[in-house]
A and B are shown apart, each in its own frame.
Chain A
Amino acid sequence: MIVKYALIFSAFLTLLCSYRAIKGPETADRVVALDSISTNIISLGILYAIHTQRPVFINVSLMLAITGFIATVATSLYLREGELIK
């Protein structure tokens, strides 16, 4: 029962993070907000796996932990260097 409300609350927190991704004054703020969104979706995957008792969804969180890191590193490299592929 509490897992259901935790799902709703965590989705609401993810929605609040998107405010900074849209509004943020600089590009680095948007990168931080997208990183925080991907971290929140990891928790959403775990909570959904607990809620439905189907452990397949933990793999979703595992994949998102890897791809979110790659996205953050690529975007911060683009911010620093100005180009990605030389």
Chain B
Amino acid sequence: MKEILIVIGLFFLSIGTLGLLKLSNTLERMHATSEATTLGVGFIVLAGVVDFYPNGIYLSAILVLVFLFITAPTGAHMIARATYIQDRGKEKSNNLSSIEDFV
């Protein structure tokens, strides 16, 4: 059971890393890492929960999962907002004027 979860987690981790390396824009790279990497680490933490289940430490692993799912979208949102505010004056920011009201 834990081997299957580890393999699924490594699959999503490698997708996130490939997206970080190969995509062409800062916002696209942030999108790839914030979604796929969080999901992969979530699966690996679930493997840890399954492995340590009778021991009481699995509650700590669940706490890692809760913290990760709270903090990763918040950090990604803050990076995206800082990038958008920095790029607003430049010429190369394309198709982003529709989100002007939400920043």
Contact = CB atoms under 8 A, between A and B. Distances in A.
A66 to B, nearest CB: 6
Main secondary structure of the interface of B (DSSP, over half): helix
A13 B78 contact: no
A40 to B, nearest CB: 7
Interface residues of B, number: 47
Contacts, number: 141
Given A58-B60, A61-B64, A42 B41 contact: yes
Interface residues of A, number: 41
A50 B81 CA distance: 37
Given A9-B10, A20-B29, 15 more contacts: A2-B7, A3-B6, A13-B17, A20-B20, A28-B26, A28-B82, A29-B29, A32-B26, A36-B16, A42-B68, A43-B9, A49-B48, A55-B60, A68-B75, A72-B78
CB-based closest 10 A-B pairs? A69-B71, A55-B57, A72-B75, A79-B82, A76-B78, A80-B82, A36-B33, A46-B48, A65-B67, A76-B82
22 contacts: A2-B3, A6-B6, A6-B10, A16-B21, A19-B21, A20-B21, A29-B29, A35-B34, A35-B76, A35-B79, A39-B37, A39-B68, A39-B72, A42-B68, A47-B44, A49-B52, A61-B45, A62-B63, A65-B71, A68-B75, A76-B75, A76-B81
Interface of A: 2-3, 6, 9-10, 13, 16-17, 19-20, 26, 28-29, 31-33, 35-36, 39-40, 42-43, 46-47, 49-50, 55, 58-59, 61-62, 65-66, 68-69, 72-73, 76-77, 79-80
